[in-house]
């Protein structure tokens, strides 16, 4: 027969203990193995956060270096120095438009070209004005309104009302007549001009039929007293077939004097 069981040490088990209770007395509870706590770990700052999109840290923007000198600016300066006014203006304005867009050098040259072109424009206008005044003075001398002597032959297409003439002739074609001051003896004085309106050359007889009464009427308007003066007659210049083909349509009315006289017919 088996030996009697040895008596168990410790208090007897509680017969009323619920199922799944703690282990018997004396057995330490078993806790799950976790990460041991680190001792004396230094404090670390939280990681730096990236700023929200669109709010980056501002940095000074350094403009890129100029990409050379604009060619139109150089051309504007050259033409401004040479007096090429039109090209100086065109190239200057084109250069100013391109320099800003392309980040180029040459603004000073473009401005200088425009300034020089303006100076040249003023000089040219001044020269033209002086030439016009001088031409008017020369014309005034040939028309007898001053005491300047002339006598140079003048194209019949350049005659003006008030011109005093010499050497009126009955030749079939007259291209030039000497214009003299009206203070000198002269054979005639230009007093009117009118244009023929025919589309084709009407012929000499048709022109004379129109010119005779028209010049007589115009003389009455220019110098009424000369109509009854027996020493005054009407004389006119009219287009030839050749000059008509070149666009000549003018009939020039001239008061002729016999004998020659001095002074103006009008006034």
pLDDT of residue 140: 44
- List, as own/partner pairs, every contact residues 200-206 make where C-beta atoms lie below 8 angstroms and the sequence separation is at least 24, other chains included: 201/239, 201/241, 201/244, 201/245, 204/238
User: With contact defined as beta carbons under 8 Å apart, do 254 and 165 qualify?
Assistant: yes
All residue ranges of the chain with pLDDT < 70 are: 1-64, 66-67, 136-151, 170, 172, 267
Scan for tokens 């206008």, then name that residue.
125
pLDDT for position 192:
94
State residue 19's pLDDT score.
53
How far apart, in whole angstroms, are the C-alpha atoms of residue 145 and residue 135?
14
Q: Is the dihedral of CA 242, 244, 250, 255 positive or negative?
A: positive
Residue 103: predicted pLDDT: 80
Structural contact between residues 140 and 128, judged by C-beta atoms closer than 8 angstroms: no
Domain ranges across the chain: 71-141, 153-261
pLDDT attached to residue 148: 36
Q: Judging by beta carbons within 10 Å of its beta carbon (0-12, 13-18, 19+), is residue 148 exposed, middle or buried?
A: middle
Whether pTM exceeds 0.75: no
pLDDT at 168: 85
Q: What is the pLDDT of residues 110-139, one digit of tens each?
A: 899 899 999 998 999 988 988 887 776 554
Q: Residue 77 in contact with residue 106, Cβ under 8 Å?
A: no
In this prediction, residue 89 carries a pLDDT of: 87
Per-residue confidence (pLDDT) for residue 146, from 0 to 100: 35
CA distance 88 to 114: 6
pLDDT value of residue 149: 40
DSSP conformation class of 69: B
Contacts for 219 with CB less than 8 Å, ≥ 6 apart: 191, 192, 226, 227, 234, 253, 255
- The confidence score (pLDDT) of residue 73 equals 85
- Count of CB atoms within 10 A of residue 140's CB? 14
**156 burial type by CB count under 10 A (0-12 exposed, 13-18 middle, 19+ buried):** buried
Q: List strands edge to edge, sheet with 176-180.
A: 153-155, 176-180, 164-165, 186-195, 250-261, 232-237
Report phi then psi at 103, rounded to 5.
55, 60
- Locus of tokens 């050098």: 105
234-249 pLDDT, tens digit per residue, is 999 999 999 999 999 9
Chain centroid offset of residue 138 CA = 35
């Amino acid at each position: 027969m088996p030996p009697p069981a040895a008596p168990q040490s410790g208090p007897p088990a509680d017969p009323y203990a619920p199922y799944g209770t703690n282990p018997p007395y004396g057995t330490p509870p078993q806790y799950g193995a976790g990460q041991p706590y680190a001792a004396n770990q230094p404090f670390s700052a939280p990681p730096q956060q990236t700023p929200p999109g669109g709010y980056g840290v501002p940095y000074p923007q350094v403009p890129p270096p100029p990409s050379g000198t604009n060619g139109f600016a150089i051309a504007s300066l050259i033409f401004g120095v040479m007096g090429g006014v039109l090209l100086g203006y065109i190239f200057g304005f084109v250069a100013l438009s391109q320099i800003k867009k392309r980040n180029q050098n040459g603004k000073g040259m473009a401005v200088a070209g425009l300034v020089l072109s303006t100076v040249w424009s003023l000089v040219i206008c001044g020269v033209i004005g002086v030439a016009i005044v001088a031409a008017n003075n020369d014309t005034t001398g040939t028309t007898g309104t001053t005491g300047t002597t002339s006598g140079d032959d003048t194209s019949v297409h350049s005659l003006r009302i008030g011109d005093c003439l010499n050497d009126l002739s009955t030749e079939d074609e007259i291209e030039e007549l000497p214009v003299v001051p009206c203070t000198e003896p002269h054979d005639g004085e230009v007093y009117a001009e009118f244009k023929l309106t025919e589309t084709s050359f009407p012929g000499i007889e048709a022109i004379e039929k129109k010119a005779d009464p028209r010049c007589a009427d115009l003389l009455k308007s220019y110098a009424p007293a000369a109509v009854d003066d027996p020493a005054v007659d009407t004389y006119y210049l009219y287009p030839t077939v050749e000059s008509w083909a070149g666009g000549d349509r003018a009939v020039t009315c001239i008061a002729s004097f016999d004998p020659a006289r001095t002074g103006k017919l009008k006034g």
